[in-house]
Chains A and B, each alone.
Chain A
């Protein structure tokens, strides 16, 4: 069977056209979108990535399947290295948190810079924090706790994660400005931190609101103060740290989305638009409310600027925690 020259010419022309069109028109992903989470299934970050994936599909924001890929290891180091290896790929995104900035500052091996090497796409949410103690504890506000810590240096204890985590930075800043001193005990999982508090083995913990709300509702824990700019709707009666009489620099806990190095401009514009649209959907608003997050939406350029500034602030604040800064 032979094809005459004209038909062949038509086929070639249409193939060329088909190949050229996507570059001219707006970018649309054609392969499944990979959404990288820097820890395993079951972590808060994995849950966040899976929620994004589900909302993308529910709200038809992307025309392809979204696949959550877990790249755990070394805080964010493995995931960041994986993203760096995907230069120019328009089908891979990752969810970042403060950890990505911090690891780069304190880990020699974490060479990937979040905003210099990789391509910031959007900042998505800001997580407030709550200072909680056991309901039967003698302190009813942050001031009383800090005064008690001053009276018995080193006797009171706070449970938390890594020493580079926000809760320890906040503790160091509070301790420094007030002269109080209480211990910080690291536990690897949120459950262990909370169990230590509920069991009375430590006295204080700083939590995400979603993490401890049930304990507060059941009358097992009470909230001393909230770390947020303005009082959260769900905690109207709880003073902020500032209202409690303590000035702290801004230390937001952020989650956002990052692309690989040299992400094509059209692809970046497309995903930036996706997150802009996402912020308006009812599914997203419900998720934000259910988890007591603040909407922290910022576009690509804005979030890059934010990350650069925030890294500088973190570098300063981390020095107070005693962590070794390598960059």
Chain B
């Protein structure tokens, strides 16, 4: 059994005291940069890479990877407590996480996030262990038509995300699609909707939109309704800070859903954890017995995206290690670190450097346990943040929002955009438009447009290409079904009326 031999060898590397130490250092740093907005995992890994020049490759990559998946654990903290996503992949966690905190279940939400992260993170590593090479081949079968179908499936979830008025939900989505078109068109180098501004040529950063529409508008709405005392109640007693058995039981399916969706979407070089977390959230809502409660603070609405976000780490390592293809900026830096050490990620890495490959995989089992042990005790500590009186908390949120938006690009202009999106989010709430579809449209719109145009360029304008590809066809069929459900609702109401009448 190659895998068992490999794992044994891997653990013999990962359990060396020096590697255990670097694993812990990586996980710890990851948690810290995940919690604090402003410094993402990619920037942290890039900054620390020079320190690893002298290390042996296994220790070095164990630490850098620890930062990568550790940051995803920490990212949910500010999403839940302050409605400020710490990383773009934890934006979906805001939807129900922050509402749980408003209902006095902040501790429970943080606990569920940590547990979901642990379960899904570990499942992701198990899948990476068992099926890295075959799953990489499946990922290669995925091309533009499949990506388009996946993004459309994601967008069809807008129907589920939009709440009372579907028309308003779709309008919100369309605003998101428009905002994501701003900038230079990849295919023709044409500038779209840049209003002659150099600063807009590169498009708008996702974090600026998400922080503005979620965090800033939330502060404005709370100030409007003047919550004199703490907006977010924090119950006393340590037991009330932990998830209850019922809450955990409600998340059973979400753990599975998050793990699988996160892993498989993570394997695709053209998707990423932000998309994975939204799709997992959408699926969770679609199969739920009480979809109408999503967005009001249900535990499975936290568990699914948080799980997907962490299972994605294992998935993203599949193309990196077996094909040498990084799916995002953090994994790209890990690739250049490996190359620098003379380890060559690609089809031959498992044979040529089993110590590094299996050592890294084994260290991720250990790292996930470390992160759980590190994060669970922090839950009650972080929940105390909400005891801070509102007149201190609100300016702090405004400041963190500024730092988070500014640090992505270091431009004052992005802060002006942040203010704009804050106002937009506030007005949308005031005019009863759901904001989640806007975010979803922004995340998926660009990738979807690209995939559609690539597909039609490849097939020379022939749309039957979708029908000829089974994966794409299946996903498109599901998307259409989801899009038709509200019509079915109208039909049912009309039928009931007709029968009664």
Instruction: Spell out A's residues near B (CB within 8 Å).
Output: 40-43, 46-47, 50, 53-54, 68-75, 77-78, 81, 106-111, 154, 157, 161-164, 183, 185-189, 191-192, 194-196, 198-202, 210, 213-215, 217-218, 220, 290, 322-324
Contacts and interface: CB of A to CB of B under 8 A. Distances in A.
A77 B202 contact: yes
Contacts of B50: 50, 53-54
A215 B198 contact: no
A185 B458 contact: yes
A71 B327 contact: no
B323 A201 contact: no
16 contacts: A42-B329, A46-B46, A74-B198, A78-B202, A107-B184, A110-B198, A111-B198, A186-B454, A192-B269, A195-B269, A195-B270, A195-B325, A215-B323, A215-B324, A215-B347, A323-B188
Contacts of B489: none
Interface in B43-96: 43, 45-46, 49-50, 53
Given A108-B196, A164-B189, A183-B458, A195 B346 contact: no
A293 B417 CA distance: 40
A107 B183 contact: no
Nearest to A58: B53
B142 A40 contact: no
Interface of B: 42-43, 45-46, 49-50, 53, 139-144, 183-184, 186-191, 194, 196-203, 269-270, 319, 323-333, 336, 339, 344-348, 409-411, 450, 454, 457-458, 460
Nearest to B201: A74
Contacts of A200: 140
Most chain A C-beta atoms within 10 Å of own C-beta, residue among B142, B199, B329: B329
Contacts of A194: 323, 325
Contact of A40 (B53, B329, B450): B329
A73 B348 contact: no
A46 B326 CA distance: 15
A161 B185 CA distance: 12
A74 B162 CA distance: 33
A320 to B, nearest CB: 14
Nearest to B349: A214
Contacts of A290: 339
B146 to A, nearest CB: 10
Contact of B409 (A73, A107, A191, A192): A73
Contacts of B203: 73-74
B202 A199 contact: no
Nearest to B453: A186
Contact of B46 (A50, A78, A163, A189): A50
Contacts of A78: 198-199, 201-202, 409, 411
B46 A41 contact: yes
A46 B335 CA distance: 13
B347 A220 contact: yes
B433 to A, nearest CB: 29
Contacts of B202: 72-75, 77-78
Contacts of B186: 161-162, 186, 188
A7 B45 CA distance: 52
A206 B64 CA distance: 30
Contacts of B43: 41, 70
A209 B389 CA distance: 58
A81 B198 contact: yes
A324 B199 contact: no
A41 B328 CA distance: 10
Contacts of A46: 46, 333
B85 to A, nearest CB: 18
B191 A71 contact: no
Nearest to B347: A218
B459 to A, nearest CB: 10
Contact of B458 (A161, A192, A201, A323): A201
Given A194-B323, A194-B325, A220-B347, 4 more contacts: A40-B329, A42-B329, A185-B454, A214-B344
A191 B326 contact: yes
Contacts of B53: 54
Nearest to A290: B339
Nearest to B53: A54
Nearest to B46: A41
A19 B457 CA distance: 63
A122 B230 CA distance: 59
Contacts of B454: 185-187
B31 to A, nearest CB: 19
